[in-house]
Amino acid sequence: MMQLNEEEYQTMIKRCLRCSICKWIPQVQIKSQKYATACPAIDLYNFHPYSGGGKIILALALEMGRIKPSKDLRDIVYKCTECGNCAIACKFLGTLEPLEIIMRLREKLVKAGCGPMPAQEEYIKAVREFNNPYKEPHANRTDWLPKDIKIDHSAKVLYYIGCTSSYRRKEMAIAAARIMNKAGIPFNILQDEEFCCGSPILRTGELDTFKQVLNRNLDVIESKDIETIVFSCAGCYDTFKVDYPLYRNYNFEVLHTVEFFDKLLEDGKIKLTEKIPIKVTYHDPCHLGRNAERYEEWEGDVVQILPLITIDVPPKPKRTGKRGIYDAPRNILKRIPGLTLVEMERIREYAYCCGAGGGVKSAFPEMALNTAKLRIEEAEDTGAEVIVSACPFCSTNLKEGIDSRESDLKYYDISELMLMAMGLEPEKLKWLLSEVV
């Protein structure tokens, strides 16, 4: 698998042009002054080091000994949601990997004893003790599960709920489970053998604990006869799909619920029959969109074709977000009778982050909230009545953004809307329609 190695890191941090492309969405996609920017950190804190390029400069300054690991440095490096929008912009023409450099820089700070942030250390400790970052009793992990949900312990499909859906956004877990039941898809859950996926740990650069979590999870799953894992959490999905294979391979298929449900709709196993005549806008979670792109195997040579000019033969695949999951959720929404999908200006691989990722929600809650408010404002500007997404972390943060802005927008997870459109939640649908129509 291909990820930035130390040698590439050392060369790459010398190559930033300080062009500021990383601060903007791809230039040809800019549709207005208001929604031209890509990076929450530089949008909120303004000083150049908060940008992707700025953090590359910090990485170089650190390697050259011009600066030392310090609280000032740590605070800047960790005020980043690791949403990866900077990397999409840079790789429109460039070859740098700002997101990977930021991740490596965090690892270096952790090794130097200067990271993660105290609040992040706290939740990492919680994962070790409680198997979830929220310090919730492990015994309560399946409290979300209604009695009428059918679980099939011999099923080949595993529904991996994740900590946030288990403890904080139970409505998402319930909706996903009900949809699968209605579609007649037998599925299993790990019950008390489900632990944190490790995503919030990995993002801080604390690799040792992450690897322990990863190995335990894969040991548990591989001890069962599982062919497919379905996730309703974009963070768990991304971590299993993209990050786990960098450390350990596995032999099962990984799907997000939007992919799984889109296929069920296509196969006619689910019918969306109830009219929901509302205007909806969809927020692409970073973990489901641009970052949900696997590293590809590459074997080849770096060939010098002319002095100073080398090419990769065959061309090395670049992760540009093109294989993110963008169409599946939109397909689902378009199938809901009466529903109108209106897009925000920043979508798909250049969608603006909700603000919760990269450990920011716990370490810098004000940054997370202010970013969510920016995204909610963008959603409001579409004229939509409802903002929909497919990630419990985005859900929590965007809901807080709605409350903080006293916005008229409603937030729903896409599976909740599906449930209403399947006629399984008539009361909720009635309430929603009376609120927005």
Q: Which residues bind other proteins (CB under 8 A)?
A: 11, 14-21, 23-24, 26-33, 36, 46-49, 54, 57-58, 60-61, 64, 66-68, 70, 72-73, 76, 88, 91-95, 305-312, 315, 318, 320-322, 324, 326, 348-350
Look-up of token digits 């196993």? 269
The structure tokens 């804190």 sit at: 45
**By C-beta, is 48 or 156 nearer to other proteins?**
48
Indicate the residue among 31 and 275 with the shorter CB distance to other proteins.
Answer: 31
Smallest gap from Cβ 17 to other proteins, in A, equals 5
Work out how close the CB of 281 gets to other proteins at its nearest, in angstroms, rounded to a whole number.
Answer: 19
Using alpha carbons only, how large is the chain's radius of gyration in Å?
A: 21
Q: Are strands 301-306 and 309-313 parallel, antiparallel or unpaired?
A: antiparallel
Query: Do 226 and 156 contact (CB within 8 A), yes or no?
Result: yes
Judge contact between 392 and 415, C-beta under 8 A.
no
Shortest distance, position 408 Cβ to other proteins, whole Å: 26
Give me the least distance between CB of 65 and other proteins, in Å please. Answer: 11
Nearest to other proteins of 24, 240 (CB atom): 24
Cα–Cα distance, 133 to 129 (Å, whole number): 9
Interatomic CA distance for residues 133 and 142, integer angstroms: 16
Nearer to other proteins, 98 or 198 (CB): 98
Of 36 and 149, the one with the shorter C-beta distance to other proteins is 36
Residue whose CB is less far from other proteins, 60 or 214: 60
425 and 276 in contact (C-beta within 8 Å)?
no
Which residues does residue 401 pair with via DSSP β-bridges, in sequence order?
none
Report the candidate in 235, 248, 287 with the shortest Cα–Cα distance to residue 99.
287
Q: How far is the CB of 349 from other proteins (least distance, A)?
A: 5
Closest CA to 327 of 259, 255, 416, 421: 259
- Residue ranges with strand state E in 128-257: 157-160, 187-188, 228-231, 253-256
CB of 306 to other proteins, least distance (A): 4
Shorter beta-carbon distance to other proteins: residue 264 or 353: 353
- Smallest separation, CB 412 to other proteins (Å): 26
- What distance in Å separates the CA atoms of residue 224 and residue 212, rounded to the nearest whole number? 19
